[in-house]
Structure 1
Amino acid sequence: MSGRPEKLFPLFAGLETLDGVGPKTAQHMAQLGIESPRDVLYALPYAVVDRRRRETVQGADLPSIVTVEVTVGTHRPARNRGGAYRIHVEDSQTDFQLVFFHARGDYLKKILPQGARRVVSGKLELFDGMAQMVHPDHIVPPEEAAGLPEFEPVYHLTQGVSQKIAYKAAQSALTRAPELAEWADPTQVARQNWPDWRSAMQAAHHPKGADDVAPFAPARERLAYDELFAHQLTLALARQRERKARGIVSIGSGQLQSKVLGSLSYRPTGAQTRAIEEISADMSSEARMNRLLQGDVGAGKTLVGFLALLIAVEAGGQGVMMAPTEILARQHLEGLRPLAEEAGVVLEILTGRDKGSERRAKVEALKRGDIHILVGTHAVFQSDVEFHDLRLAIVDEQHRFGVRQRMELSEKGQGADVLVMTATPIPRSLALAQYGDMDISVLDEKPPGRKPIKTAIVSTQRMDEVVAHLRSAIEDGKQCYWVCPLVDESEVSDLTAAEERFKRLRALLGDDAVGLVHGQMPPAEKDAAMAAFQSGQTKVLVATTVIEVGVNVPNATIMVIERAEIFGLAQLHQLRGRVGRGEDASTCLLMYQAPLSDGGRKRLEVLRETEDGFRIAETDLQMRGAGDLIGTAQSGLPRFRIADLERQAGLMAVAQTDARALLSGDPKLNSDRGQAARVLLWLMKQDQAIRLISVG
């Protein structure tokens, strides 16, 4: 894989090699991220204008774009500066006006001399009963009219790049597009009736109507598939390399697991059982596990994670569960302790708080293998921490645990299996785009006994009623979260919002009843406030969104979210999942400030209607788009030029299957189709993938 294939050279030459592109235009195009003829090809038109010739404008549905041959009549110059300069014209059946503003009369007399025949094309509108065309897009003598395309593609432009330049550059780039061998799966191409790459490019830049610029047009779909396929090939190559790194074979005896399962008051859901089967199959194979466990709030990820840790212990090794914060690590510890007692395994915690001799004792016990399962924060990464025989690392992915940390962790246990858990339901298409190098298990059922949460939408004008409702709940011994919005980016104003609410609730409910936790507090104070709420000392916890992560207070049955309309759907769903964890029925009050926008209302209604995190995430994706959903800046989502993750989710899954199938039969990409796929990777600038092949 020495370098870029020669037939692609013309596509990666300078922009100035294209017709009509000078140094200045090239600079302007670079601002759109267009740096080579290849990029010009991938900047497809987003609309098309019908410029087919008509005999007459009579009977046209106005306003619309018309193209017609006319005889030029009288000129009526503007009366004042900046006024309208009008030219009367007639086609074969009727007459209308051409209108120009800020026009130079001598120039117009030259291009539209009275009595001449001209073909004009532009938007014709009715104005005070008179049909007029303001600033026609094209004015040409009839003998030159053949140069006007019948259907004109419309490109996204920037300052200094006109439609004419964009069109000319695209036409010129198309002449460079070589015939390329087919990399897509032949059955897929036949089934979808897709053109080959070059024909698809030709068709995409020569749309014949609105359907041709839609994502489902065969030429577009084919080019979108290429993008997704190249992306999935890159991920599959990374996965292949990851899996080649020898894993450790961990085969569980099932003894410890059955003790835990026997002690439960309920049976695991089908989804939990399936996930455990997938995980134990991965752990018992020689390849290293790299699996994502995706589960909705309350879907029972903890149990699945713990059973996986037990497989490691049954096989004679150790397991570690990583949490992003001290609070969460302690909470994992609380959640796992009763299970560990049933199984009779040694469970310990290691965080930044462990100091001195106590820490030393833990580190030594870990090295001897006396600790079976460790719960920890990133303190586990410190160099003096060594495991006796680490088999499985579970990462709680609330804090965007990156690939780099996954690597560090795997170095602690050469070849340890990795399971990443996330409580954010991600629609499948995005999960594949973001975690395509991993295998995915999904928990999409709720364990029995979880009571549904009643969700109500109330206006802030009914604040008094809400507070009264709280008061009676507190008298019944219940607890409540009160979430204040992050009003704008400045931490200061958020703080005042939360502090104001805190003061007002204390005045109404009593000083001891209300606690406060926000992002600006020192960690120790935050922990103290959380602890007071967890132990039931405080009844109401006023918080900015710091609580959406994993906190577990079974006695909290009310969640009030102020200004719910400015939160994202996924975030609201996560916050709501903090209640409904105990025996009692719970409520979530979404408070909004009127008037609600359509989007705001739709978001709140979706929450009221469903607790299914995957459905909520799909809606969120449709409403907000892929980038917003996981914050494009840190999402690791690739930027696709043509593919549309929201509308072409199914295509992503097909691309992943195809990429994995191609590599399993041809891991080095040496077959004909493999060679073609290499060309695709160069075409798509997937340098990372190309390196993986050349190293691999």
Structure 2
Amino acid sequence: MKQVSFEDLKKQSIRYIKGVGQSRLTLFSRLEINNIFELLTYYPKEYEDRSRIKNIADLQDGELCSFEGTIVSNVTVLRPRRGMSIAKVSVQDSTGKITAVWFNQHYIKSSLALGASYIFYGKAERKLNKLQISNPVFEKIDTNQYDSNELKRSLKILPVYASTKNLSQNLIRAIVQEALKSLSNVELEDMLPQPVRDRHNLADIMFSLNHIHFPVSEQDKDKARYRLVFEELFMLQLGLLSYKSLAASARQGIKYMRLKEMDEFIGALPFQLTDAQKRVLGEVEQDMESNTIMNRLIQGDVGSGKTIIAVLALFKAVRCGYQGALMVPTEILAEQHYKSVKPLLERFGVAVELLSGSQSKKQKQAVFEGLKNGCINVVIGTHALIEDTVEFYKLGLVITDEQHRFGVRQRSILAEKGGNTDVLVMTATPIPRTLALILYGDLDISIIDELPPGRKPVRTYSVNESMRDRINNFIRETVKAGRQVYIVCPLVEDSEEIEAKSAVVTAEDIGNNVFNDLKVGIIHGKMKPSEKESVMKSFAASDISILVSTTIIEVGVNVPNATLMVIENAERFGLAQLHQLRGRVGRGEAQSYCVLFNQSNSKVARERMKIMAQSNDGFVISEKDLEIRGPGEFFGIRQHGLPELKIANLYKDLEILKLAQETAKDMVAEDPGLMNNKRLKQYLANHFGEKATLS
């Protein structure tokens, strides 16, 4: 039997499948289906299960169902207005009666015979306490041949595909069926090695393709889907591990010493480390003391204390004779880190400097020279650190904070300034474990899942415009008590396209009218760096009582005296972003509050606001965000250059993802260059680029 690979199927146009032709080829291309591979991996989005026949009396409101019934009335056709027709007929079985209704389907009257029996499939609805089914599909029952092929054809689990105009479900089904039939006389190469299939009891590829499109039973569909999901995630993890393996094997890492001074440094801190911080520090130290290059992601909720882990890692690097760099996305955050980190390190003789775009040429030059000659041990800066003019004497550790603000390329540019540099990546954006495993598959992951003792959860309330006066009174009371307030808007300036509050107009309104007796400031991304810095300094010094802002304050801004955040048009933000914004308050000992103005009446918006009000756990919130919005919207997977997932659902398939990742790791360990799996090696080269072949 001739063997065919997926690469071969990619070269075969669907033009020559029976029933396609040139005009339909154009329709299919709208769905990005041009070859047989793309057609067979265009998986159904859902299924119509017509195989379970129910009694009419048992049908539930809103249920998709099949039932057998006899036509007990003539078809009546109403024409309520021009261009619209409504056909109705009564259908009955031994348990009850239902009305079938079709809209603008003129063939119905001549298709149904009084006294004849049919199988109907559609959505049952209860209207005025009577059952009705709208636009059902139906098949006539031949009472003389109850087991006829006609009946069997209708009583199936049928695939439902995402479609486009003029491509009916029946047509897509017929074309997919023809494509599968064309493979019945060849052997399709199975990309999953037999040992992997045996280990996880996975179906073979042809069974899986046949039954994902046309399952005979629910069990067969589930078995097919499990195998295809596993394969997709296994290949993805293998590809990501190939990057990681390449990075680890290309150069030997720095083997740092174990430091006795580390305990002294920790003992001198003005607070105690949490158990979670100790655990993560242990993982970082283990990486640094190994022969391999560290590539670790530290995830920690807002205020969980990631920065001190970074400081301890920097201290270790410097004491072992290397320099360290901490790169952050904004000048505000760089300045803030510089002020908090410098005193901790300088008391142990570590020279710390700041590098940012707004510094004078003279200031920058002094930093450049200090880094080049080794006088500066640690530099904290923005993306200014990756400029060509920055050279290090002996860079050993690179830390990036708020990783999602930087691309992988920026991270690697900075790391390459040291040769075999260890890399530590930090983020307070709570990425669900599911996505972290995918998006940062080239990194080991540590999670600080514990907040320092004594921090009070921020009380969160979702309100609408009717509460405006009460919230304004609350703002005034907060300022009167000596505290400060953030008001966050989704836009910088008013927009004709978007109905949402802008920071500029809001600041003018409350400054001139609502709170004209209070000190109101504004900060947004279009301001010059020096202006932003000036405003934040004034706010930090309590010279500004109310700060109107865009999401520029989302990351890292730390003003413990700010205890109230009001977010306008909260429905316009993702849950993870709302949580980040909320993290700007609740940083001191006083009780803090977050008020979400929701201007939407949609059920989804209300559900999202409810989640925010009920939970302060960023990881719970991010999982919900992923569940509601899906992975593509949540974190722009395509931007990371990863192959698109066609069948796996990162929210629902976490357990399969874990198995796939473990299996991929085992394979790389047993067969480092994939020398015994040449087909997989070629697959990775085709999908991830030539460098990702574990060679």
* TM-score calculated relative to the size of structure 2: 0.85
Q: Which residue of 2 aligns with 1:543?
A: 549
Deviations 1:632-679 (A, max 9, x none): 5646565311111111122212211211211111122122xx245347
Shift of 1:203: 2.0
Letter in 2 for 1:544: T
Aligned pairs for 1:372-387 (under 5 A) are 372-387=377-392
Q: Deviations over 1:5-54 (max 9, x none)?
A: 75752464111232322122222112112222122222233444455699
| CA-based RMSD | 4.1
Alignment of 1:264-283 (within 5 A): 264-283=269-288
Q: Distance in 1 between matches of 2:131 and 2:274?
A: 71
Displacement after TM superposition at 1:121 (Å): 6.5
Asked if the contact 2:322/2:396 (under 8 Å) is kept, the reply is yes
CA pair 211-530 structure 1, distance change in 2 beyond 3 A: farther
Q: 1:567 aligns with which of 560, 573, 583?
A: 573
Which residue in the other structure is 2:33 paired with? Answer: 34
Q: Give 1:567 shift.
A: 2.7
- 3-state SS of the aligned residue for 1:25? helix
SS of match in other structure, 1:171: helix
* Change beyond 3 A, Cα 1:264–1:113: closer
Look up the match of 1:305: 310
Change (3 A) 1:249 1:695: closer
Offset of residue 624 of structure 1: 2.0
CA separation of 1:75 and 1:509: change in aligned 2, threshold 3 A: closer
CA shift, 1:211, in A, is: 6.4
Could you tell me how far 1:625 is from its partner in structure 2?
1.8
Structure 1 gap ranges (5+): none
The 3-state SS of whatever aligns with 2:19 is coil
Amino acid at match of 2:266: L
**Residues 590 and 475 of structure 1: is their aligned pair in 2 closer, same or farther, counting only changes over 3 Å?**
closer
Distance 2:291 2:602 in 1: 54
Query: What pairs with 1:265-664 in structure 2 (closer than 5 Å)?
Result: 265-397=270-402, 400-486=405-491, 496=502, 498-505=504-511, 507-510=513-516, 513-582=519-588, 584-593=589-598, 596-631=601-636, 634=639, 638-664=643-669
User: Counterparts of 2:354 and 2:486 in 1: how far apart (Å)?
Assistant: 28
Q: For residues 136 and 602 of structure 1, do their structure 2 counterparts lie closer, same or farther at Cα, with a shift above 3 Å needed?
A: closer
| Aligned ranges 1:118-197 → 2 under 5 Å | 145=150, 148=153, 150-156=155-161, 157-175=163-181, 176=183, 178-181=187-190, 183=192, 186=195, 189=198, 193-197=201-205
Distance 2:309 2:166 in 1: 58
Match of 1:343, SS?
A: coil
| Offset of residue 146 of structure 1 | 7.1
The structure whose RCO (Cα within 8 Å, separation 6+) is larger is 1
**Cα deviations by residue, 1:510-533 (Å, 9 ceiling, x for unpaired):** 556211112332332222111111
Change in CA separation of 1:694 and 1:399 when aligned onto 2, cut-off 3 Å = closer
By how many angstroms is 1:300 displaced?
0.5
Instruction: Say if 1:113 and 1:319 are closer, same or farther in 2 by CA, change over 3 A.
Output: closer
Give the counterpart letter for 2:159 in structure 1: V
Give the 3-state SS of the residue equivalent to 2:372 in structure 1: helix
Cα–Cα, structure 1 residues 444 and 51, in superposed 2: closer, same or farther, change >3 Å? closer
Matching of residue 200 in structure 1 with residue 208 in structure 2: yes
Deviation at 1:336, TM superposition (A): 0.2
Contact preservation (8 Å) 2:570, 2:596: yes
Runs of at least 5 residues in structure 2 that lack an aligned partner in the other structure = none
Cα distance in 1 for residues equivalent to 2:82 and 2:611: 56
Q: Deviations over 1:161-208 (max 9, x none)?
A: 2223222222222232734457268477555x4322221222222224
Distance 1:419 1:258 in 2: 21
Provide the C-alpha distance between the structure 2 equivalents of 1:77 and 1:470, rounded to a whole number of angstroms: 62
Q: Secondary structure at the match of 1:412?
A: coil
Q: State the one-letter code of the partner of 2:215.
A: P
Deviations 1:569-595 (A, max 9, x none): 11121111111222x313223143577
User: Which moves more between the two structures, 413-422 or 9-18?
Assistant: 9-18
Deviation at 1:302, TM superposition (A): 0.7
Identity rate of aligned residues, in percent? 35
Separation in 2 of the partners of 1:114 and 1:506?
A: 75
CA deviations on 1:123-153 (whole Å, 9 max, x unpaired) are 5989999999968566799887378353152
| Helix, strand or coil at the partner of 1:589 | strand
* CA offsets 1:430-466 (integer angstroms, 9 cap, x no match): 1011111111111111122333333344444333333
Helix, strand or coil at the partner of 2:587: coil
Change over 3 Å in CA distance of 1:92–1:388 after alignment to 2: closer
Alpha-carbon separation, structure 1, partners of 2:97 and 2:461: 62
Measured after TM superposition, the shift of residue 381 of structure 1 is 2.0
Offset of residue 58 of structure 1: 8.7
Distance 2:443 2:233 in 1: 16
SS in 2 for 1:345: coil
Structure 2: distance between partners of 1:691 and 1:120: 54
Count, aligned residues: 678
Shift of 1:209: 5.1
Secondary structure class of the residue paired with 2:370? helix
Decide which moves more: 372-381 or 193-202.
Answer: 193-202
Question: How far does residue 95 in structure 1 lie from its aligned partner after superposition?
Answer: 12
Contact 2:159 2:214 in 1 (8 A): no
TM-score calculated relative to the size of structure 1: 0.85
Local SS of the residue matching 2:691 = helix
User: What amino acid is the match of 1:549?
Assistant: V
Q: Is the 8 A contact 1:48 1:210 kept in 2?
A: no
- The alpha-carbon distance between structure 1 residues 383 and 162, as it changes in their structure 2 partners (threshold 3 A), is same
Residue of structure 2 in register with 1:45 after alignment: 44
